[in-house]
C-alpha cells in the first residue's frame, strides 16, 4: 500500500524530529520523510494535524476466548485502531485463562487475522489460582511477552518470589495487579470521605500500597522486571519512585481514568464509575500526574475492560468492575495533559508510545517513525472537540466512564502494519 501524508507536524522524540513534513509510506513501510514529497497512491492532506508514533497499550482485555459477548479480538482491535493504537498486550484472565500453550496459540492465530499487533501475556499461576506456576517457558515459546494474574494479586508471597525468579530467567515481565484482597474485600469504591458520604463499602488505598511494597521487595531480591499495573494511589507512586531511585527494575502504568476522575464521580451511583483499582481522591490524581510527568510512572495504559450491560447495569455492590478505554485514551490525555496541563507533545508521545515500546523491548517499527521500518503511526487532530457518545464505540461494550464528556483532541487516522484506518 502506498500513502502520502502531506503537511502534518511530525512528533518523533526518538529521532528528535518535531517539524512540519511529509511522510511517504510505500509497501507498508516508511519510505521517506521530508519536504514536498511526491508519491503514487492515496494522498492525505494533513495540514494542521500531528503525526506521531502509534500508541501502544500495555493493558487490554480482549475477552477472547470465553467472554465474546463483551469483546472479541476482532472488535477490540477495531476499537484500538480507532483510538490510535497500533499494538496492545492482551490480558490473560480469559475463560479458560491463558495458562496453557494451546490458548496462547489460539490467540496468536486469531490475532494474525486482524490488522493489529497483539502481544499476549500469560498467567503467572495455573488457573489464576495463585497456587502453582503456569508453564511459563512453554508460554514464552508460544509468544507471550509478560506474565500476570491480572484481576488478582498473587497473595502467596513464596509463589510470587518463585514467579519473579522464573520469569526473570525467561526475560518475561511480571505485571502485578497489586491488591491485597483481604484488605479490599467487599469494597466497591475508594475508602474515604466519598465512600462514607455515599454509604458504599470502601477499598482502602493501603490494599494497593501494601501489595506494591511487598512486590518491590521481592523484585529487589530476585532482580526481575516488575511492572506495576494501573497504579492509583499517591503512596504506591512514592514506593515506585523510591524503587527506581535505588535502581530496581520496576516500571509502572497509569490509566486515563485514574489521572482524570476522582471518587466523587460515584455520587449518582453510576456503575460506569466502578472499576478496580477504584477512582481515588483528587490528591491521588495530582500525585499520579506528577509521577507520570517526571517518569516515575512510565506510561499510560487503558485497562480496557469491556462488560455487557447485563453485567454492568446492576446495583453498585453487584455490578462488574471495569471500564472500556481504548477509544477515549488519547482524548483524555490530550484534554487533561496537553490542553490543561500544557505538556509538550513529545512527552505525550513518550507516555503513549515510546515508553510502552521500550518496556516491551520492541523494534524500531514501534515507538518511532523510522525510514525503512513498518509504518505504525497515528494522525491526530489536537483541536478537535468531540462528545463521547454511546453509539460511537467500535468496542462491543459501552461501559465508558467518559460518556457525555466533551473531549478536545481526537485521533484522525491510524496506520497500523502499513495499512490506513479512518473511522
Partner 1 sequence: MTSWNRKDLLGLKELSAEEINLVLETAKGFQEISLRSVKKVPALRGVTVANLFFEPSTRTRISFELAEKRLSADTIQVASSTSSMVKGETLRDTISNIEALKVNVIVMRHSASGAPHRLAPRIKASVINAGDGINEHPTQALIDMFTILEKKGKIKDTKVTFVGDILHSRVARSNIWGLVKLGAKVTVCGPKTLLPSSIEKFGVKVTTDLQEAVKDADVINLLRIQLERQKESYFPSIREYATAYQINRHILKTAKPDVVIMHPGPVNRGIEITSEVVDGPYSVILDQVTNGLAVRMAVLFLLSGSSKEGIKEE
- Which residues carry out catalysis? 303
Q: Is residue 197 part of the contact set for partner 1 (CB under 8 A)? A: yes
**In 3-state terms, what secondary structure has residue 45?**
strand
Neighbours of 27 (CB within 10 A): 10
Region 252-281 residues binding partner 1, contact defined as CB under 8 A: 268-269
Q: How crowded is residue 135: how many other Cβ atoms within 10 Å of its Cβ?
A: 16
Question: Contact between 200 and partner 1 (CB under 8 A)?
Answer: yes
Q: Is 29 in the site for partner 1 (CB under 8 A)?
A: no
Q: Which of 19, 317, 341, 385 binds partner 1 (CB under 8 A)?
A: 317
DSSP 191: S
112: cell is: 494474525
Q: Which window, 65-73, 158-166, 311-319, 410-418, contacts partner 1 (CB under 8 A)?
A: 311-319
Counting contacts by CB under 8 A, is residue 283 touching partner 1?
Answer: no
Binding window for partner 1 (CB under 8 A); candidates: 23-31, 65-73, 286-294, 309-317: 309-317
What is the per-residue burial (b if ≥16 Cβ within 10 Å, else e) of 267-304? eeeebbbbbbbbbbbeebbebbbebbeeebbbbbbbbb
Among 195, 260, 368, 376, binds partner 1 (CB under 8 A): 195
The residues pairing with 10 across neighbouring beta strands, listed in sequence order, are: 19, 51
Residue with smaller CB distance to partner 1, 196 or 286: 196
Q: Is 311 in the site for partner 1 (CB under 8 A)?
A: no
Query: Pick from 42, 95, 157, 196: which binds partner 1 (CB under 8 A)?
Result: 196
CB 193 to partner 1: min, Å? 4
Maximum distance among all Cα pairs of the chain, rounded to whole angstroms:
64
**Is residue 198 at the binding interface for partner 1, with CB under 8 A as the rule?**
yes
**How far are the Cα atoms of 168, 178, 247, 270 from residue 232, in angstroms, in the given order?**
26, 10, 22, 20
* 3-state SS, residue 142: helix
Q: Which of 131, 282, 314, 406 binds partner 1 (CB under 8 A)?
A: 314
Asked if residue 247 binds partner 1 (CB under 8 A), the reply is: no
Tell me, by CB under 8 A, how many residues bind partner 1: 20
Q: Are 12 and 30 contacting, i.e. CB atoms less than 8 angstroms apart?
A: no
CB of 397 to partner 1, least distance (A): 18
- Of 96-104, 140-148, 185-193, 362-370, the window that binds partner 1 (rule: CB under 8 A) is 185-193
Q: Is the dihedral of CA 81, 59, 317, 194 positive or negative?
A: negative
Residue 352, C-beta contacts closer than 8 angstroms, at least 6 positions apart: 52, 55, 56, 84, 299, 300, 329, 330, 333
Nearer to partner 1, 311 or 327 (CB): 311
Residue 58 · residue 374 · CB < 8 Å: no
Q: Which is nearer to partner 1, 1 or 403 (CB)?
A: 403
Q: How far is the CB of 295 from partner 1 (least distance, A)?
A: 32
User: Residue numbers of the site for partner 1 (CB under 8 A)?
Assistant: 191-193, 195-202, 204, 268-269, 313-318
Amino acid at each position: 500500500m502506498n500513502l502520502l501524508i502531506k503537511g502534518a507536524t511530525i512528533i518523533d522524540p526518538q529521532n528528535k524530529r518535531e517539524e512540519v513534513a511529509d511522510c511517504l509510506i510505500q509497501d507498508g513501510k516508511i519510505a521517506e520523510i521530508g519536504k514536498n514529497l511526491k508519491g503514487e497512491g492515496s494522498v492525505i492532506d494533513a495540514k494542521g494535524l500531528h503525526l506521531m508514533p502509534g500508541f501502544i497499550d500495555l493493558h487490554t482485555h480482549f475477552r477472547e476466548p470465553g467472554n465474546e459477548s463483551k469483546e472479541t479480538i476482532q472488535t477490540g482491535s477495531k476499537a484500538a485502531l480507532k483510538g490510535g493504537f497500533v499494538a496492545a498486550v492482551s490480558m490473560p484472565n480469559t475463560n479458560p485463562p491463558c495458562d496453557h500453550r494451546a490458548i496462547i496459540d489460539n490467540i496468536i492465530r486469531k490475532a494474525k487475522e486482524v490488522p493489529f499487533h497483539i502481544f499476549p501475556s500469560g498467567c503467572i499461576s495455573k488457573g489464576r489460582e495463585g497456587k502453582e506456576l503456569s508453564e511459563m517457558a512453554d508460554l514464552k515459546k508460544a509468544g507471550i511477552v509478560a506474565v500476570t494474574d491480572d484481576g488478582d494479586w498473587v497473595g502467596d508471597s513464596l509463589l510470587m518470589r518463585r514467579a519473579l525468579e522464573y520469569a526473570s530467567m525467561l526475560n518475561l515481565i511480571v505485571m502485578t495487579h497489586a491488591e491485597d484482597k483481604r484488605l479490599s474485600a467487599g469494597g466497591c469504591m475508594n475508602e474515604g470521605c466519598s465512600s462514607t458520604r455515599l454509604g458504599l463499602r470502601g477499598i482502602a488505598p493501603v490494599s494497593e500500597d501494601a501489595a506494591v511494597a511487598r512486590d518491590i521487595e521481592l523484585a529487589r531480591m530476585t532482580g526481575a522486571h516488575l511492572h506495576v499495573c494501573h497504579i492509583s494511589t499517591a503512596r504506591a507512586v512514592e514506593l515506585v519512585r523510591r524503587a527506581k531511585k535505588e535502581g530496581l527494575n520496576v516500571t509502572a502504568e497509569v490509566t486515563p481514568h485514574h489521572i482524570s476522575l476522582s471518587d466523587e464521580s460515584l455520587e449518582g451511583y453510576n456503575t460506569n464509575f466502578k472499576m478496580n483499582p477504584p477512582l481515588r481522591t483528587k490528591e491521588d490524581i495530582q500525585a499520579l500526574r506528577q509521577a507520570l510527568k517526571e517518569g516515575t510512572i512510565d506510561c499510560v495504559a487503558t485497562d480496557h475492560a469491556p462488560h455487557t450491560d447485563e453485567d454492568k447495569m446492576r446495583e453498585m455492590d453487584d455490578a462488574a468492575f471495569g471500564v472500556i478505554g481504548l477509544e477515549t485514551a488519547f482524548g483524555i490525555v490530550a484534554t487533561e495533559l496537553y490542553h490543561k496541563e500544557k505538556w509538550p507533545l513529545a512527552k505525550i508521545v513518550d507516555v503513549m508510545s515510546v515508553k510502552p515500546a521500550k518496556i516491551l523491548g520492541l523494534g524500531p517499527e514501534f515507538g518511532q517513525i523510522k525510514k525503512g521500518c513498518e509504518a505504525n503511526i497515528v494522525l491526530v487532530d489536537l483541536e478537535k472537540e468531540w462528545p463521547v457518545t454511546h453509539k460511537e464505540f467500535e468496542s462491543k461494550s459501552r461501559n465508558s466512564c467518559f460518556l457525555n464528556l466533551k473531549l478536545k483532541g481526537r485521533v484522525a487516522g491510524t496506520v497500523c502494519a502499513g495499512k490506513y484506518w479512518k473511522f
